[in-house]
Amino acid sequence: MTDAVQAGEKKPRSLKPLGRLAPYVMRYRGMVAGALVSLALAAVTSLALPLAVRRMIDQGFTQPDGSFINGYFAMLMVMAVMLAIASALRYYFVITLGERIVSDLRRDVFASVTRLSPSFFDVNQSGEIVSRLTADTTQIKSAVGATASVALRNLILCCGAMGMMVVTSPKLASLALGAIPLIVFPLVAFGRSVRKRSRAAQDTLAEASAFANETIAATRTVQAFNGEDAAANRYGLAVESAYDAARSAIRSRALLTGIAITLIFGSVVAVLWVGAHNVLTGTLSAGTLGQFLLYSVIAAGSLGSLSEVWGELSQAAGAADRLTELLDEVSPISAPARPETLPAPAFGRVEFSNVHFAYPSRPGRSALRGLTFDVTPGETVAIVGPSGAGKSTVFSLLLRFYDPQQGSVSIDGIDARQVTPDDLRECMAIVPQDVTIFAASIHDNIAFSRPGATRDEVRAAAMAAQADEFIARLDKGYDTEVRERGVTLSGGQRQRVAIARAILKNAPVLLLDEATSALDAESETLVQKALDRLMQGRTTLVIAHRLATVLKADRILVMDQGRVMEEGTHQSLIRHGGIYAKLAKLQFDAGAEEFLAIAK
Ligand X SMILES: Nc1ncnc2c1ncn2[C@@H]1O[C@H](COP(=O)(O)OP(=O)(O)OP(=O)(O)O)[C@@H](O)[C@H]1O
Q: Using CB under 6 A as the criterion, which residues of the chain lie in contact with ligand X when the complex forms?
A: 122, 359, 361-362, 367, 385, 387-393
Cβ within 8 Å of residue 474, ≥6 positions away: 442, 480
Q: Nearest approach, Cβ of 97 to ligand X (angstroms)?
A: 41
Q: Nearest approach, Cβ of 406 to ligand X (angstroms)?
A: 16
Q: Nearest approach, Cβ of 261 to ligand X (angstroms)?
A: 54
Among the listed residues 327, 329, 323, 267, the one whose alpha carbon sits nearest the alpha carbon of residue 297: 267
Among the listed residues 505, 559, 552, 499, the one whose alpha carbon sits nearest the alpha carbon of residue 523: 499
In the three-class reduction of DSSP (H, G, I as helix; E, B as strand; rest coil), residue 83 is classed as helix
Cβ within 8 Å of residue 599, ≥6 positions away: 570, 571, 574, 575
Separation CA 476–CA 491 (nearest Å): 20
**Phi and psi angles of residue 261, each rounded to the nearest 5 degrees, phi first:** -65, -40
Q: Which is nearer to ligand X, 367 or 502 (CB)?
A: 367
Q: Which is nearer to ligand X, 339 or 578 (CB)?
A: 578
Residue type, 217: A
DSSP assignments along 6-27, one per residue: HHHHHSPP-SGGGGGGHHHHHT
Strand ordering across the sheet containing 350-358: 366-375, 350-358, 406-411, 414-415
Separation CA 559–CA 386 (nearest Å): 8
Q: Nearest approach, Cβ of 358 to ligand X (angstroms)?
A: 8
Q: Which is nearer to ligand X, 375 or 383 (CB)?
A: 383
Separation CA 108–CA 59 (nearest Å): 60
Cβ atoms of 48 and 159 within 8 Å: the answer is no
Q: Which is nearer to ligand X, 145 or 385 (CB)?
A: 385
Q: Nearest approach, Cβ of 583 to ligand X (angstroms)?
A: 11
Burial-class residue 253 by CB neighbours within 10 Å (0-12, 13-18, 19+): buried
Q: Which is nearer to ligand X, 66 or 388 (CB)?
A: 388
Q: Nearest approach, Cβ of 108 to ligand X (angstroms)?
A: 27
Q: Which is nearer to ligand X, 516 or 536 (CB)?
A: 516
Residue 448 vs residues 164, 242, 445, 485, 576: alpha-carbon distances, Å: 65, 39, 5, 14, 44
Separation CA 347–CA 363 (nearest Å): 34
Separation CA 102–CA 116 (nearest Å): 21
Q: Nearest approach, Cβ of 36 to ligand X (angstroms)?
A: 50
Q: Which is nearer to ligand X, 312 or 329 (CB)?
A: 329
Q: Nearest approach, Cβ of 511 to ligand X (angstroms)?
A: 12
Separation CA 295–CA 50 (nearest Å): 7
Rounded to a whole number of angstroms, the CA Rg of the chain reads 35
Q: Nearest approach, Cβ of 359 to ligand X (angstroms)?
A: 3
Q: Nearest approach, Cβ of 357 to ligand X (angstroms)?
A: 9
Q: Nearest approach, Cβ of 99 to ligand X (angstroms)?
A: 38
User: What is the DSSP-derived secondary structure letter of residue 485?
Assistant: G
Q: Which is nearer to ligand X, 104 or 560 (CB)?
A: 560
Q: Which is nearer to ligand X, 390 or 492 (CB)?
A: 390
Q: Which is nearer to ligand X, 149 or 393 (CB)?
A: 393
Q: Nearest approach, Cβ of 586 to ligand X (angstroms)?
A: 13
Q: Which is nearer to ligand X, 42 or 367 (CB)?
A: 367
Among the listed residues 75, 90, 82, the one whose alpha carbon sits nearest the alpha carbon of residue 154: 90
Separation CA 312–CA 141 (nearest Å): 11
Q: Which is nearer to ligand X, 308 or 513 (CB)?
A: 513
Separation CA 328–CA 312 (nearest Å): 24
Q: Which is nearer to ligand X, 262 or 372 (CB)?
A: 372
Q: Nearest approach, Cβ of 121 to ligand X (angstroms)?
A: 9
Q: Nearest approach, Cβ of 343 to ligand X (angstroms)?
A: 29
| CB count in 10 Å sphere of residue 23 | 10
Cβ atoms of 346 and 412 within 8 Å: the answer is yes
In the three-class reduction of DSSP (H, G, I as helix; E, B as strand; rest coil), residue 360 is classed as coil
State whether the Cα torsion 558-559-564-566 is positive or negative: negative
Separation CA 559–CA 37 (nearest Å): 70
Strand ordering across the sheet containing 563-568: 428-431, 509-513, 539-543, 380-384, 555-560, 563-568
Q: Which is nearer to ligand X, 145 or 390 (CB)?
A: 390
Q: Which is nearer to ligand X, 63 or 361 (CB)?
A: 361
Q: Nearest approach, Cβ of 400 to ligand X (angstroms)?
A: 15
